[in-house]
């Protein structure tokens, strides 16, 4: 039976979603599950949650918990990383410091100054995690959920190319599911093809029994003015393919929307949204902890429906069942008009041997152009860490579309200095210089 290690298991809501999906497969009921977190209370809560979730599903896994990451990883076949380095406090710094400079963010975890600094404080964790995998489970698959996804996978490919890593995000799944519902066709009967960069990929093909569904989407948009008040609908109408991430996310990766109060109003962009989401995650953790303290199973929220990819990868590794999902991986010619080595998102086949990314070829040129602007920031942020050069942090922020649209160049440098000071020793030592 497979050995699975959860790193950052104290993210209990996410842990619950993953365990629910894992234990829904009868073949995985007896997995060995090792939980790791650096917070003793959260780790204890995660362990209690794992045992109760297994009981709810009639599963009988072997569950262990350890504050020692290497011990938890020892002998693992699959390592699932879901650590948010710095937690809520670091997120608040990303938003509050940027807001003081007049830079608006919605989610702040992928691109922009929030994404850059989240990456810089996450890279040391990834370096240590890769070292542990090489030492105690060199054949394991590292399944990464931690954002910024493209930056994290590109960094791992640069420093530890021998580690088998795949980035997982269900944004493509939910985009196509929601679009299919919008045009009135069953998602289960839809075929689609998507590629690009995580949080800025594109639905290249979308068909129902061989019929192109884009004309039906056009008709729905034409009939409903409120649909036209969404960032990604606006982007679709201008660029010709639908983006696979939510409008609040999508607004942060381009220069046109967040700088303009009228555009924020027109497209109903929720500035600062992730601060509220992060506060909600803290409240949900407290609810789960209190339920477990009473010996109760914390029932999922009514709106919770994960359908996560990691359990599907694990099930395919265990059974050989072939299925296709989306993954972020290093670009080894997979998308021919995006940079080599970049963290790109493409379809991949799963089976007993692992994760097999598909060759996509060239994206439409206008889509590749937007992705390259995104990947410029990714490349410079990774270079800052790999080379230990704080100048590249400023270069990344200057090349970031939304930041550059909001600030003159000297203020961008000052913003980077302020965020460097705010995060302090949460950043790699070489990058703390201003």
Query: Binding site membership for Mn(2+): which residues?
Result: 169, 199
Q: Which of 36, 170, 208, 249 is catalytic?
A: 170
Return the number of other C-beta atoms located less than 10 Å from residue 117's C-beta. Answer: 30
**Is there a catalytic annotation at residue 392?**
no
- Contact between 405 and 371 under an 8 Å Cβ cutoff? The reply is no
Strand partners, 33: 4, 63
Give the position of tokens 């694990």. Answer: 314
- Contact between 165 and 156 under an 8 Å Cβ cutoff? The reply is yes
Tokens of 173: 């799944």
Terminus-to-terminus CA distance in the chain, angstroms? 50
Taken in order 113, 118, 123, 126, is the CA torsion positive or negative? negative
Strand partners, 196: 201, 345
Instruction: Write out the binding residues.
Output: 147, 169, 199, 266
Which residue blocks in 26-111 are alpha helix, DSSP H? 40-56, 69-73, 87-100
Instruction: Write out the binding residues for substrate.
Output: 147, 266
Tokens of 318: 């265990």
Compute CA distances 422 → 192, 211, 363, 385, whole Å. Answer: 43, 53, 39, 18
**Active site positions, annotated:** 170
């Amino acid at each position: 039976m497979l050995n699975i290690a959860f790193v950052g298991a104290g993210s209990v809501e996410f842990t619950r979603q993953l365990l629910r999906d894992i234990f829904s497969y009868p073949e995985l009921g007896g997995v060995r599950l090792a939980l790791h977190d650096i917070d003793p209370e959260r780790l204890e809560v995660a362990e209690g949650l794992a045992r109760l979730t297994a009981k709810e599903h009639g599963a009988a896994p072997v569950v262990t918990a350890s504050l020692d990451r290497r011990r938890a990883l020892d002998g693992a076949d699959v390592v699932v990383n879901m650590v948010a380095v710095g937690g809520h406090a670091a997120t608040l710094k990303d938003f509050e410091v940027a807001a003081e400079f007049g830079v608006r963010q919605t989610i702040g975890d992928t691109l922009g100054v929030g994404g850059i600094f989240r990456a810089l404080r996450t890279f040391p964790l990834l370096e240590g995690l890769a070292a542990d995998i090489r030492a105690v489970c060199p054949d394991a698959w590292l399944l990464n959920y931690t954002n910024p996804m493209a930056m994290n996978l590109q960094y791992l490919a640069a420093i530890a190319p021998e580690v088998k890593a795949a980035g997982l995000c269900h944004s493509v799944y939910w985009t196509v599911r929601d679009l299919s519902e919008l045009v009135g066709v069953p998602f289960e009967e839809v075929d689609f093809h998507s590629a690009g960069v995580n949080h800025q990929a594109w639905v290249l093909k979308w068909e129902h029994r061989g019929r192109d569904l884009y004309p039906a989407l056009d008709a729905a948009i034409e009939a409903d003015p409120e649909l036209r008040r969404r960032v990604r609908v606006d982007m679709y109408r201008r660029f010709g393919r639908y983006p696979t991430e939510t409008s609040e996310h999508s607004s942060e990766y381009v220069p046109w929307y967040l700088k303009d109060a009228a555009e924020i109003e027109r497209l109903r962009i929720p500035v600062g949204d992730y601060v509220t989401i992060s506060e909600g995650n803290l409240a949900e953790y407290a609810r789960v902890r209190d339920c477990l303290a009473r010996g109760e199973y914390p029932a999922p929220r009514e709106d919770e429906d994960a359908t996560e990819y990691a359990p599907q990868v694990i099930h395919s590794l265990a059974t050989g069942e072939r299925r296709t999902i989306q993954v972020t991986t290093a670009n080894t010619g997979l998308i021919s008009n995006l940079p080599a080595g970049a963290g790109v998102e493409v379809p991949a086949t799963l089976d007993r041997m692992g994760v097999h990314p598909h060759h996509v070829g060239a994206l439409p040129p206008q889509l590749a152009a937007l992705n390259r602007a995104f990947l410029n920031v990714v490349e410079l942020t990774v270079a800052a860490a790999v080379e230990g050069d704080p100048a590249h942090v400023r270069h990344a922020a200057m090349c970031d579309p939304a930041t550059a649209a909001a600030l003159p160049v000297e203020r961008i440098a000052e913003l980077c200095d302020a965020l460097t000071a705010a995060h302090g020793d949460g950043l790699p030592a070489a990058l703390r210089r201003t």
